[in-house]
A and B are shown apart, each in its own frame.
Chain A
Amino acid sequence: MAYAQHVTRRSLLKNSLVPVATGAAAAAMPWTAKAEQQGSMTLQYWQAYGEYPAIAEMRTRFNEANPSIRVEASVYNDYLELAQALQSAAAANNLPDLAGVGYTFIRYVVANVPHLTTQDALAFNDEDANYLTDGFAPNILALGQVDGVQHGMPLVIGTPYLFYNADLFARSGLDRGPQTWDEVREFARAIKDATGQYGLGISAPADFWTHQALVESNGAQLLISETGQPPRTGIDSPEAIEALQLHVDMTLKEETAVHLDFRQGEQAFASGQVGMHVASGGSLQTIQLTAAFEIGTTPFPTFGDKPRRVPAGGNNLFIFATDEEQQRAAWEFIKFCTSPDMLTLLSEDTGYIPPRRGLIDDPNYLKPFFDANPLYAAEVLQVPDTVPWVSWPGKRGLEAEQVLLDLRDRILVGSQDVPGAARDAAKRVNELIQE
């Protein structure tokens, strides 16, 4: 062929020079950039649920106070997306230096992703020996523990509580939020009779968080871990079945409650067509933007005199850096983020509860904020009732959550009765977590 005659070794070499030279120049550039940053260390920090101004401000202040360390953040939509990114990063041996891991993923991350435990990080400085016990309550520290070892540092805490439409309440002759689930049932009926609107919606996200609060507040234990025994679930206990049956009866028999997914639930309550909504403080911020009615809040209702048990949503700060200098820098950043000043900044921006004890009642920190924002008072009141969000053990633990979501959906559309569905779910969950 004619064209091939013009391709010789000399012309091939000559024509390759340009791309090779360009490639060499490009390869040289990172080295140039590295030379400019010599003397400073960069920490990669991954966080979920958007870039709150307070978190950006925390990074800026830390970077200013520590000129030799620069914290850069990558933001993910939610804790699942962050966990997926950690999975890929671990496979590629390219983990960030630290990340905010959702509480429900703690067991998976502890079992599979190499990290420096918070407990080990305390050893970096002698003065840090009592850092955890001095500043944080045991039930809060438990959010970052697996089998008694402090793996992560709790950063933010959100628990489910009840919002109500004060205008619908007034039209129904109600002047306060319900304290117990018997009152929820009674108030929902009153709202339906007086206004024709639904009385209750319980947030149904892609996890069992709000329903964990429901069943555990009635005395059930979603995950039962006893020494010498394989872990098992208590979703088929009489207490759990009773709690779930209440929700099902209100939805299907009395038709005073409506089963909606997380986003539709927010839309429905914000539009003023549902009297009460059980969800997190994060939902409250979203609803406040669009609701054209007065909102009231009350702690998660109890079952009579039984203690309230509300699982904490939020994240633990985990150190994944392997270089000791990076680990020390990451620990300094964690201490900075969990300092009274920074936690105050974070709570004021997000409405979330700080993990450090004493800040909420301290007039120098968060007392003025929570006094001025009474809607958050309900969540403050239930801080002592905070329990860990269940993180399922075992190689197939993550699948157990899906079994419970299917249970929730089956019973709330009437596809299966509560006791039968709970028994089937318990059998499957136990198979998964004991595998």
Chain B
Amino acid sequence: MEYVGAADSRRSARFRASWESVTPYLFVSPVLGLMLTFIYWPLAYSVFLSTLEWNFISPDREFVGLDNFRRLLDDDRFGQAIRNTGVYLLALVPIVVLLPLGLALLLGPIRRSRFQTVYRVALFSPTVVAFPVAAVVWLWIFNPVGGVLNQLLEAIGGSGANWLADPKTALWCVVGVCAWRLVGYNLLLYLAALEGVPVEYIEAAAIDGAGSWATFRDIRWPLIQPTVFFMVVTAVIFISDTAFGAIYVLTDGGPFGQTTNALYYLYERGFRFFQIGEASAVSVLIFVAVTAITWLQFRLLERHVHYG
């Protein structure tokens, strides 16, 4: 015969079990809600918008299927933007990944000196200075009439240029400004990563007669690889964003699209010409490209990363 209390115990146990399985989801639901609202819903809506010819406010809204994507393929300016994006990545990824590493190694011996705050502030300040403020100075540096760069070149016997108006030089000016802005942040990350290398390993290598290069190659480099990998992945994702800021303040995408990248092209389509369908099509293509590149990076590079 079954006790009456036994049924109550089983119900209570079932409630506790189902409550235990639901509770974790309740805890993550606020964050999930935020992600759905601000990441996944806009992503899905962008895909929908990319099939429309619409300016977001007019009652005239036309479904055009893949026409926006076809229009992009026919647009020379979009082709130029994609090529420029490739140039920015190929030029800037090595600069912002390797140059800060070199600087961090050079600064290593004086990292504990009383001047460390000075050099860290000096090297990190480009990252925190607002772009519009820095733009006024950069525009003056690049000004062909009395600008600092032309004056320096002329002083050493060279000749100046109309840096931002000349299609041969404008893009490289944007590359230079982006490198100036990004190096400082990555330098700090490298300094922290190198600081994390156990000093006993370095001392042991010194006792065994290893020189600077061998110490770097066999001890420091393997141990900072996670940081390097992180920088490579984030550089590919965020360089376009930094370049957008530089393009916006220095060249407005000109001369005639020679400095425009995919992100700036998206901005023009969506926020200057109010062609929301085309802008959304660009955003879908950027999303697919960045996802593919990031996946490839994990697939091809991560196997070489030593996680200690």
Instruction: Tell me the A residues contacting B by CB distance below 8 Å.
Output: 1, 4-5, 7, 80, 84, 87, 90-91, 108, 111-113, 198, 201, 206, 258-261, 263-264, 267-268, 271, 273-274, 395-396, 398-399, 402, 405-406, 409-410, 412-413, 415
Contact = CB atoms under 8 A, between A and B. Distances in A.
Given A4-B23, A406-B254, A413-B255, A260 B274 contact: no
A84 B252 CA distance: 16
Contact of A402 (B53, B142, B146, B273): B273
26 contacts: A1-B20, A4-B20, A90-B56, A112-B58, A201-B145, A258-B144, A259-B162, A260-B145, A260-B162, A261-B165, A261-B251, A261-B252, A264-B139, A264-B142, A264-B144, A267-B140, A268-B145, A268-B146, A396-B275, A398-B274, A399-B275, A402-B268, A402-B273, A405-B256, A409-B256, A415-B256
B167 A415 contact: yes
Given A264-B144, A273-B145, 9 more contacts: A90-B56, A91-B57, A259-B162, A261-B252, A264-B139, A273-B146, A413-B162, A413-B255, A415-B167
Interface string B232-263: 00000000000000000001101111000000
Q: Is the interface of A mostly helix, strand, loop or mixed?
A: helix
A271 B146 contact: yes
A399 B57 contact: no
A198 B275 CA distance: 40
B50 interface: no
Interface in B135-172: 136, 139-140, 142-146, 162, 164-167
B118 to A, nearest CB: 31
Nearest to A405: B254
Nearest to B20: A4
A47 B86 CA distance: 39
Interface string B266-302: 0010011111000000000000000000000000000
A263 B140 CA distance: 9
B16 interface: yes
Contact of B167 (A5, A90, A395, A413): A413
A172 B236 CA distance: 54
B58 A111 contact: yes
B55 interface: yes
Contacts of A258: 144-145, 162
Interface residues of B, number: 34
Contacts of A90: 56-57
Contacts of B143: 260, 264, 267-268
A260 B20 contact: no
Contacts of A409: 165, 254-256
Nearest to A416: B256
Query: What are the nearest 4 A-B pairs in CB distance?
Result: A268-B145, A409-B255, A406-B256, A90-B57
A108 B57 CA distance: 11
B38 interface: no
B255 A410 contact: yes
Given A258-B162, A406-B257, A410-B255, A274 B145 contact: yes
A198 B145 contact: yes
B115 interface: no
A112 B55 contact: yes
B19 interface: yes
Interface string B1-38: 00000000000000010011001000000000000000
A87 B167 contact: no
A105 B271 CA distance: 13
B109 to A, nearest CB: 42
